[in-house]
């Protein structure tokens, strides 16, 4: 192994040139960097997000509720471009002081409620509408076991494996090996669990699947970090079966499109304000209209 040895200083200082692809937006302090109010639409729920794995959790959950006919789950989805630092605007920081997407403003009650952290959004909506989370007992506990597993595990996949394998300005053997080992261990955990049950929490689709699929499902489907071959994802046959089954759900297909600003133009619905937007306001159609 030929990694350059690094000797940490006695006191760390911020080098703004470091950090690779995300150097312009990562910083060691919190708070707003500029004043910017957030737009507000007509629906009870205002979502401010981007179609990263964490963002997809929220849009899939809302689309799944609408698929069930829960009309009170209608929402406006506004694009937060994290590459431009939108998450550091004063309006966004008021909803999420941690400056991470997704952030939800629930305006359905007498007073608006801010909901941040993707698992909190899933649980808030599940409890509010009574879907995708068992009400009590061992079944509920099992679903929540896996929701919290995802919240604790995904940083190793995204911030660990994904960063050093795909985004770091230089490739080093030690961190890639370290986080590859953990990513594969996590896939093995899921593969063993899914060997004898349909969904990760049991036989019913739940917020555990909605939390885990955008990370691990999309990983094995080849949509994260261009790493499917490297991780030998085909060997995790039960995860692959589960990932494909969830990928085929209409609400999941719609949820993946919302707040998406990358990929095929026809897959990008940068803002979502009604169900009709999926047919009329994808980026390919908007650009075609603008060119006429």
* Confidence band of 19 (pLDDT split at 50, 70, 90): low
Q: What's the chain's average pLDDT?
A: 95
> By percentage, how much of the chain surpasses pLDDT 70?
96
CA angle, 67 as apex, 64 and 71 as ends, to 5°?
100
- Write a three-state SS string for the chain: CCCCCCCCCCCCCCCCCCCHHHCCCCCCCCCCCECCCCCCCCCCEEEEECCCHHHHHHHHHHHHHHHCCCHHHCEEEEECCHHHCHHHEHHHHHHCCCCCCCEEEECCCCCCEEEECHHHHHHHHHHHHCCCCCCCHHHHHHHHHHHHHHHHHHHHHHHHHHHHHHHCCCCCHHHHHHHHHHHHHHHHHHHHHCCCCCECCECCCCHHHHHHHHHHHHHHCCCCCCCCCCCCHHHCHHHHHHHHHHHCCHHHHHHHHECCCCCCHHHCECCECCCCHHHHCCHHHHHHHHHC
Output the pTM of the full model.
Answer: 0.95
Rounded to an integer, the average pLDDT of 64-86 is 97
Phi, psi of 127 (to 5 degrees): -75, -35
Q: What is the dihedral of CA 244, 226, 284, 217, to 10 degrees?
A: 20
Rounded to an integer, the average pLDDT of 266-282 is 98
Rounded to an integer, the average pLDDT of 113-131 is 98
pLDDT of residue 16: 72
Pairing of strands 75-79, 45-49: parallel
pLDDT of residue 6: 85
pLDDT of 81 over the 50 cut: yes
Q: Which tokens go with 208?
A: 């555990």
Phi-psi region for residue 127, left (φ > 0), alpha (ψ -120 to 50) or beta?
alpha
pLDDT of residue 1: 46
* Confidence band of 64 (pLDDT split at 50, 70, 90): very high
Name 269's Cβ contacts closer than 8 Å, sequence gap at least 6. Answer: 257, 258, 259, 260, 277, 278, 281, 282, 283
pLDDT of residue 25: 79
pLDDT of 212 over the 80 cut: yes
pLDDT digits (tens, 9 = 90+) for 241-272: 999 999 999 999 999 999 999 999 999 999 99
pLDDT of residue 119: 98
pLDDT digits (tens, 9 = 90+) for 218-235: 999 999 999 999 999 999
pLDDT of residue 18: 63
pLDDT of residue 15: 80
pLDDT of residue 201: 97
pLDDT of 12 over the 50 cut: yes
pLDDT digits (tens, 9 = 90+) for 137-181: 999 999 999 999 999 999 999 999 999 999 999 999 999 999 999
Q: Per mean pLDDT, which range of 12-16, 65-69, 71-75 is the poorest?
A: 12-16
């Amino acid at each position: 192994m030929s990694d350059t040895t690094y000797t940490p200083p006695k006191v760390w200082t911020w080098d703004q040139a470091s950090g690779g692809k995300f150097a312009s937006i990562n910083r060691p302090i919190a708070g707003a960097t500029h004043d910017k109010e957030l737009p507000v639409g007509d629906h009870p729920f205002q979502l401010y997000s981007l179609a990263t794995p964490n963002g997809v959790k929220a849009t899939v959950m809302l689309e799944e509720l609408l698929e069930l006919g829960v009309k009170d789950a209608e929402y406006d989805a506004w694009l937060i471009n994290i590459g431009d630092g939108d998450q550091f605007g004063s309006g966004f920081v008021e909803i999420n002081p941690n400056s991470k997407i997704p952030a939800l403003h629930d305006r359905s009650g007498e007073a608006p409620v801010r909901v941040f952290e993707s698992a909190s959004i899933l649980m808030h909506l599940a409890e509010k509408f009574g879907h995708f989370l068992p009400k009590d007992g061992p079944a509920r506990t099992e679903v929540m076991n896996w929701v919290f597993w995802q919240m604790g595990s995904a940083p190793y996949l995204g911030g660990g494996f994904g960063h050093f394998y795909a985004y770091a300005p230089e490739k080093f053997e030690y961190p890639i090996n370290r986080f590859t080992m953990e990513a594969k261990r996590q896939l093995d955990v899921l593969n063993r669990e899914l060997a004898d049950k349909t969904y990760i929490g049991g036989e019913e689709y739940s917020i555990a699947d909605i939390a885990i699929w955008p990370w691990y499902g999309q990983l094995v489907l080849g949509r994260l970090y261009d790493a499917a071959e490297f991780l030998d994802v085909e060997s995790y046959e039960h995860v692959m079966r589960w990932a494909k089954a969830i990928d085929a759900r209409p609400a999941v297909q719609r949820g993946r499109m919302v707040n998406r600003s990358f990929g095929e133009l026809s897959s990008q619905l940068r803002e979502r304000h009604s169900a009709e937007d999926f047919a009329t306001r994808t980026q390919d159609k908007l650009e075609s209209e603008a060119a006429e």
